[in-house]
Amino acid sequence: QVQLVESGGGLVQAGGSLRLSCAASGSIFSINAMGWYRRAPGKQRELVADITWGGKTNYADSLKGRFTISRDPAKNTVYLQMNSLKPEDTAVYYCNANIRSWAFQDYDYWGQGTQVTVSS
C-alpha cells in the first residue's frame, strides 16, 4: 500500500509563486521516478515535470524556465517550485510516483490532486 500526500496548492495572483510538495509513504522498496501532472478545466491531463530518483528532469516545453522540480530521497518527497504564475496555470495538479515494490514489480500511484488557482 502506497500513499501520496500533496500540499502547497492555493490561490495566488498572477506573477506570484507557489511550491507544491508530494510525499510518498507505505510499502516502498524504491522510487523510480516522481512527477507532476495537471488538468485544467476543459482540457486533458498533461505532464508538467518529472524527475527520476537519480535526478534526471523532464519538463513540458512551455513551462521550462518557470517551474522547477526537485526531490528529497531521504523524505520520499518531490517538490514543484512554480514561479511567475499565469492564469493559464490554473489547474488541479496531481502527483505521480512510479514505485518498485518488494516483489520487484513497478506500479504507478497518484495523489488526490491539489488545486492551484492563479488570478489576474
Tell me how far apart the alpha carbons of residues 114 and 108 are, in angstroms, rounded to a whole number: 18
Of the candidates 38, 73, 37, the one whose C-alpha atom is nearest the C-alpha of residue 55 is: 73
Please give the single-letter amino acid code of residue 20.
Answer: L
Confidence (pLDDT) at 106? 97
Tens-level pLDDT at each residue, the chain (120 residues):
899 999 999 999 999 999 999 999 999 999 999 999 999 999 999 999 999 999 999 999 989 899 999 999 999 999 999 999 999 999 999 999 999 999 999 999 999 999 999 999
